[in-house]
A and B are shown apart, each in its own frame.
Chain A
Amino acid sequence: MARPFTPKVVTANALLEGDVIYQTADDRWSRTLSEAEVLRDEALAKQRLDFAAQQAGEVVGAYLAEVKIGANGPEPTHFREEFRLTGPSNYFHGKQAETAS
């Protein structure tokens, strides 16, 4: 039996800054996971990923990351995605610092 498709978002790194970014439903790249388009259908997810991969001038290394739906929209299910969303644990740098300011 095929496993049910779990919700995903398209994520990548920004070409210029290397920062973690997420694809939105209106074809933008957001620095914030809560703005990401949640993909619940496998065929659509593949299509959106292909679309992302074509934007070589803006993004690097697009892939599908699994999410669960929380109070503020999509949230990571794996600790790696959690760290990408936050920044390093040894310094208050990266996303955690940007959202705080």
Chain B
Amino acid sequence: MYQYTDFDRDFLAERNAQFRAQVERRIDGSLTEDEFKPLRLMNGVYLQLHAYMLRVAIPYGTLNSAQMRHLALLAEKWDKGYGHFTTRQNIQYNWPQLRDIPDMLDALAEVGLHAIQTSGNTIRNVTADHFAGAVGDEIADPRPVAELIRQWSTDHPEFQFLGRKFKIAVTGAEHDRAVTRAHDIGLRMVRRNGQPGYEVIVGGGLGRTPMIGKVIREFLSQEDLLPYLESVLAVYNQLGRRDNKYKARIKITVHENGIEKIRELVEAEFPARRARFSGIDQVLLAKFEAAFANPDFRTASTDVYDVAHGSDPVFRAWADTNLFAHKAPGYAIVSISLKAHGKTPGDATAEQMRVMADLAEQYGHDELRISHEQNVILPHVHKSDLPALHATLKKHGLATANIGLISDIIACPGMDYCALATARSIPIAQEIATRFDELKLEHDVGPLKIKISGCINACGHHHVGHIGILGLDRAGVENYQITLGGDGTEDTTIGERAGPGFSADEIVPAIERLVLGYLDLRESREETFLDAYRRLGAAPFKAALYPEARADAA
């Protein structure tokens, strides 16, 4: 795994010392809140409803066990014993005190972690496929290039005051697990004449105006990547609107000017930018590629696994749901669900973090990943170790067999924490998961993605949920709007609004009607909710959601 250099360490130390001084000056009254706010946001510090929040970047979602143990330490020492993993491969601490935050940042720096550019109008934490380096359908591991982008974008003087936040996602695989089409820039590795390069997608985003990104360049060679990204950002920096916060994202710039014009401007900008790159970035990239090389996979018998799979139904249910095919023979990718029924999606206690760190060290070549679906991945585990691993997970409430199922819900913090929220999202997720667990239906229902946001900003990705739920404030009462048919994969689709919203009491029964309706509508067990929706259209699903309307019409 990539190890930070002395330069990185010095940079972090200096940056943390700077922020420590800023916090002190805020506390002693020499800085006003207006002066301090942009500074704290640059360092990942938000003020939420009940307390401050610290958002720590987990670049491209990759952690080693020492880093995970440090995340546990922060949770225990300065928070309330847990952390919240988010859809952007970050971890958020919900209860830090302002005075302690500089110490938290110093502790993070000990293991090369930080909170830089996790907020503010900068290039944010670069996200990547959480199965990177472990799946078979991959042209190359996207993390070396994600690291290159991270280093290039960190403290980049030209891009510290963009019109708005800017999010980049990279995937090296055929199957898009990084939601590249809903990012400001999405990069998909492709090959042309045997040479690897990138398809560049620009102007995707969710939020109040969801848009699917458009291809601006079908093929960009590897060495042109950084100058090309700079060109896109330079064009955005100039052309992007600064008069209206809601029109400031690059998706609006692309929408208003058209992709052709943006492409022309970017291509015009490109040669001068390209000339300024000496090739050092490619030397760095080669270094990162070496650092991210796969571990030595071992060859061993999988008999232990086969026996457990044949004889232990609990293990079998978990293995069939939470494992994904690994490219190396005898290996599996393990998804550890942070979605135990009735618990808060994405939360892990300090103890659970340590258990996962230990398991990664013992069985997983010391690697962990955070997925945008708010789960933890052990990307490289030999199958013979799975029964022991599963037994440990079970002891710590981490063996829920629900990956990709109805209770594997993405939910943003909503009005339980977030100052911008218009309604709560966490309790809705908890109730849906609990209800379907009671019904014992979720394995029968099969793959189904529910995603919940507590306001129009769409941090919970509701637009791309097969079932999306958006919490709103309707005349002082929480109200939940359903969207149907969204999809965040390579076939990115924005869900369609189903109809009038539901109150907090009505939303779970509504979801239940919808899902039971699907069970009646599907052609076979193989036809997923999304497939059935695509085949039949919205009408029969709406009829299940709004039985009164059907009765009225009859």
Which chain A residues have a beta carbon within 8 Å of chain B's beta carbons?
A: 13, 15-20, 56-57, 60-61, 77-80, 83-84, 87-91, 93-95
Contact = CB atoms under 8 A, between A and B. Distances in A.
B48 interface: yes
Contacts of A90: 344, 347, 416, 426-427, 430
Given A79-B476, A79-B478, A90-B426, A56 B51 contact: no
Interface in B64-117: 80, 94-95, 97-99
Contacts of A80: 49, 415, 421, 473
Interface stretch (B27-35, B144-152, B272-280, B540-548): B27-35
A92 B438 CA distance: 24
Given A20-B50, A61-B33, 6 more contacts: A16-B98, A17-B51, A56-B29, A60-B33, A78-B476, A79-B476
A61 B427 contact: no
A88 B476 contact: no
B37 to A, nearest CB: 9
A18 B344 contact: no
Given A18-B97, A19-B51, A84-B49, A89 B33 contact: no
B47 interface: yes
Interface size class of B (residues with CB under 8 A): 20 to 34
Nearest to B34: A56
B98 A84 contact: no
B159 interface: no
A60 B347 CA distance: 28
Contacts of B19: none
A19 B307 CA distance: 54
A18 B50 contact: yes
20 contacts: A16-B97, A17-B98, A18-B47, A18-B48, A18-B98, A57-B27, A60-B33, A78-B476, A79-B415, A79-B477, A80-B49, A80-B415, A80-B421, A83-B49, A87-B50, A88-B50, A88-B416, A90-B416, A91-B344, A93-B95
A7 B471 CA distance: 28
A91 B415 contact: no
A18 B51 contact: yes
Given A87-B50, A88-B50, A91-B80, A17 B97 contact: yes
B29 A83 contact: no
A17 B97 CA distance: 5
Contact of B427 (A78, A84, A89): A89
Interface string B364-380: 00000000000000000
B185 to A, nearest CB: 33
Contacts of A16: 27, 97-99
Interface in B314-355: 344, 347
Contacts of B416: 83, 88-90
A94 B415 CA distance: 14
Contacts of A78: 476
Interface string B35-53: 0000000000001111110
B417 interface: yes
B341 to A, nearest CB: 14
B36 to A, nearest CB: 9
Q: Which of B48, B49, B344 has the most CB of A within 10 A?
A: B49
Nearest to B98: A16
Contacts of A15: 26-27, 98
Nearest to B50: A94
A93 B80 contact: yes
Contacts of A87: 50
Contacts of B50: 18-20, 84, 87-88, 93-95
Nearest to B347: A90
A89 B449 CA distance: 24
A52 to B, nearest CB: 12
Contacts of A20: 49-50
B124 interface: no
Contact of A57 (B29, B80, B417, B477): B29
B383 interface: no
A77 to B, nearest CB: 8
Interface string B459-480: 0000000000000010011100
Contacts of A56: 29, 32-33
A65 B33 CA distance: 20
Interface string B266-288: 00000000000000000000000
Contacts of A84: 49-50
A94 B51 contact: yes
A20 B50 CA distance: 6
B29 A88 contact: no
Contacts of B99: 16
Nearest to B95: A93
Task: List 5 tightest A-B contacts by C-beta distance, closest first.
Answer: A88-B416, A18-B51, A57-B29, A18-B52, A94-B50
A60 B37 CA distance: 10
B424 interface: yes
A37 to B, nearest CB: 22
A95 B29 CA distance: 27
Nearest to A93: B80
A100 to B, nearest CB: 15
Nearest to A97: B80
Contacts of B49: 20, 80, 83-84
